[in-house]
Chain A
């Protein structure tokens, strides 16, 4: 009984990590586009912006491949510029296509989130007096 409980707990922990990773995988590009709205940023700067918004990528993959894909897809524009006293860095900023993709993606995320909330019973029914 106890071993079942332990194994069940471990399974839930592992599964929760996997689920978080899967969920993040689907929206991390949107998150990157969103933090670029604050202004151009280089790779690690975006990681810090994400962390400041409560999203840590520790335990997840790095953002570099994703930035590469966004660049290849024309969602971001890049330029090299000197950072604060440091070496020249590659700064990423939203392209017009990226702005549109962000707008569409946010709508899709909200729709999906509301639907999942509804399915999970997290939507509170409005009670009229």
Chain B
């Protein structure tokens, strides 16, 4: 009997039932069970078939009385939408930029080889000068674009690194966003559980 009431108490605590309410229900239940026992009855005489399932009984009673605590509000997700969008945009720009650098670096070499034969005369339009130096076009930001090098740094390793960082970052972002442990989605998935109104 005490075990039944103890199980009920545990369930009420789990459901967030306030202590005074839980104490009151437990006292009523104990008194009824004791009375039935003193009359030679069994817990079934008081509880029906609920005597075999204290947790369900306790949940049904608390729900019927409306004393369970309301479900906790969705905790603020670490993935605030605005932050996620900004991060995704940055990573996207990074990835596209790195891919562009790789493509331009490769094609510029090709162009350089091609133009070496075509534009070989003097004048300001000599985009890619023939010869071993190939330093012709100043970059837009003042950085000299030198075939496959920017400001003395190799473009390909840098671009590859940025590309990898961008792709991996976007991948992680996607995984975290759609993963089941990424915040309120998990809670919504379990909202369907209801306790019966009468047990």
Hey, which bits of chain A sit against chain B, CB under 8 A?
25, 28, 42-44, 47, 57-62, 64-69, 71-72, 83, 86-90
Q: How far is the CB of B37 from chain A (nearest CB, A)?
A: 11
User: Is B104 located at the chain interface by the 8 A CB criterion?
Assistant: no
Q: How far is the CB of B33 from chain A (nearest CB, A)?
A: 8
Stretch of B63-71, B108-116, B137-145 with 4 or more beta carbons under 8 angstroms from chain A: B63-71
Main secondary structure, interface of B, reads helix
Cα–Cα, bound, A128→B92 (Å):
93
Contact A65:B198 (CB < 8 A) given known A58-B45, A72-B65, A90-B28: yes
Q: A-B contact count, CB below 8 Å? A: 85
Q: Mark B37-64, 1 if CB is under 8 A from A, else 0.
A: 0000000111111110000010011111
Residues of A with C-beta under 8 A to B30: 87
CB-based contact A25/B198 at 8 Å:
yes
Residues of A with C-beta under 8 A to B28: 42-43, 64, 89-90
- 7 A-B residue pairs with Cβ-Cβ distance under 8 Å, sorted by A, are A61-B48, A61-B49, A64-B29, A64-B47, A68-B66, A71-B65, A86-B35
User: Is B191 located at the chain interface by the 8 A CB criterion?
Assistant: no
CB-based contact A65/B64 at 8 Å:
yes
